[in-house]
Amino acid sequence: MGHIQDRWWKEERDPVTQQVTRVKTSSYGKGLRYKVRYLDPQGTEKSKSFPDRQKKRAEDFLLAVESDKREGKYVDPKAGEIKFSTYVETWYGGQSQDAATQENLHNQVEKRLTPFFGAMSMKAVTIPRVREWIGWMTEESLSLRYQQLLFDRLSSILNAAVEEKIITSNPCKARSVQRPSPPERKVTTWPVARMRMVQLALPAEFQIAPVLAGGAGLRQGEVFGLAVEDIDRDAMELHVVRQVRIVANQLVFAMPKSKKTRTVPLGGGVLDALDDHLEAHPPVDVTLPWERPGGEPFTVRLVLTMNGEACRRQTFNMGVWRPAFEAAGLVYRPQDDGMHGLRHLYASSQLENGVSIKVLSALLGHNDPGFTLRTYTHLMPTSHDRSRRAVDRLFKPRKRPDGLETA
């Protein structure tokens, strides 16, 4: 059990009368009066001082320390003095070691977190400071969706600091701190006619792209990474085993998102389109490093290339994809008209034809069927029509004058 030392006064016992009296020490009136001394869980002596007339604060501090020690919640008060910018460097190592993910994490933290919190100690990242930061993000005109992503990054860093006993609690989890929350936005699916118009407006060598996105549910990087070797004509399947992505401004091959490979049923029409494309535009051997610049060279025969090389997302989007909308007489909608919109069309067509959410989740490469359900539940066929038909079998409706049966 710790104790509180009064540095200004001490007790002395008269050797004859044994009477105890309080006398001033040589430190009287100098420095802080009360020093709390205690042992941390490792048995190391620690101390914290308080000024005159604040003995109650010292007592409360000692009680809190002893309580936290018993409950396993003890945090060394000096541990939180480490600067945010120093601590976050250790946090990166506990995150995904995927090169592109690490690059994104560094960009987000260094551009949006370190400028605000970097010079602060970890224990100075308090509830008011987090609120100020949220206001700062709003002043910077960041979208609510991006604010939410950055908030979650900060909360992850602070969670790690709590687990490592750097700080006592995560201010992002305080009830008085509102997590940025963008309005719920339901995905919209392209009309099939819109897809056809864009496809026909694309240069011939790129017209296979919407077929693979809308007919097989491939992400854009997976479309760019699809090789002839991934087409299984006997089983009528596509093996989605890699993507093309950018790390440090260099193209690399990598596994699909979340390192999750999958097999997708290959429709006959999609296979026909692939065969026509490969006959007109033979596949090209492309070599890229695996996962990161300087990684092991990996070579495959890509289905889709630009000038004999793997497609670069920004170059394709700005030089090929967007111009196709103008050529088709359509207005490009930034939030809806990226190639990802064709995955929504794929999902919608699968649901309309009775594919279950669990199966669809696997076909799309999602980690959690619950995410698939939340994303696409509004696209699922309504059960009302099936319910009416079931009731009509019990209670046959009369014919209406127009020849239709009443519902």
Q: What is the Cα–Cα distance from 160 to 92, expressed in whole angstroms?
A: 11
Q: Which ranges in the chain are annotated with CATH 1.10.150.130?
A: 85-173
263's tokens = 């097999």
Q: What is the Cα–Cα distance from 218 to 212, expressed in whole angstroms?
A: 6
Provide φ and ψ at 119, rounded to 5°: -80, -10
Helix (H) or strand (E) holding 58: helix 55-71
pLDDT band at 199 (very low <50, low <70, confident <90, very high): very high
Query: Residue 274, class by beta-carbon neighbours within 10 Å (0-12 exposed, 13-18 middle, 19+ buried)?
Result: buried
The topology (CATH level 3) of 85-173 is DNA polymerase; domain 1 (1.10.150)
Chain centroid to Cα 37, Å, comes to 44
Q: Which ranges in the chain are annotated with CATH 1.10.443.10?
A: 192-330
138's tokens = 């709003």
pLDDT band at 36 (very low <50, low <70, confident <90, very high): very high
Q: What is the Cα–Cα distance from 370 to 147, expressed in whole angstroms?
A: 24
283's tokens = 């596949």
CB distance 298 to 289 below 8 Å: yes
Question: For the segment 341-395, what is each residue's pLDDT rounded down to a tens digit?
Answer: 999 999 988 988 888 899 999 999 998 888 888 888 767 665 556 666 777 777 7
CB distance 173 to 155 below 8 Å: yes
Question: For the segment 52-102, what is each residue's pLDDT rounded down to a tens digit?
Answer: 999 999 999 999 889 888 888 888 888 899 999 999 999 999 998 889 899
Query: If you search the block for the tokens 């004999």, which residue do you land on?
Result: 308
Predicted local distance difference test score (pLDDT) of residue 375: 82
Predicted local distance difference test score (pLDDT) of residue 312: 97
DSSP per-residue codes, 209-256: HHHHHHHH---HHHHHH-BGGGEETTTTEEEE--EEEEETTEEEEEPS
Q: What's the average model confidence in pLDDT over 7-21?
A: 91
Q: What is the Cα–Cα distance from 64 to 346, expressed in whole angstroms?
A: 58
Helix (H) or strand (E) holding 28: none
Given a cut of 80, whether residue 49 has pLDDT beyond it is yes
DSSP per-residue codes, 59-78: HHHHHHHHHHHHHT----TT
> Hey, what CATH class is 192-330 in?
mainly alpha
pLDDT band at 406 (very low <50, low <70, confident <90, very high): very low
Question: For the segment 306-320, what is each residue's pLDDT rounded down to a tens digit?
Answer: 999 999 999 999 999
pTM of the model: 0.75
Predicted local distance difference test score (pLDDT) of residue 76: 84
Neighbours of 196 (CB within 10 A): 14
Given a cut of 50, whether residue 20 has pLDDT beyond it is yes
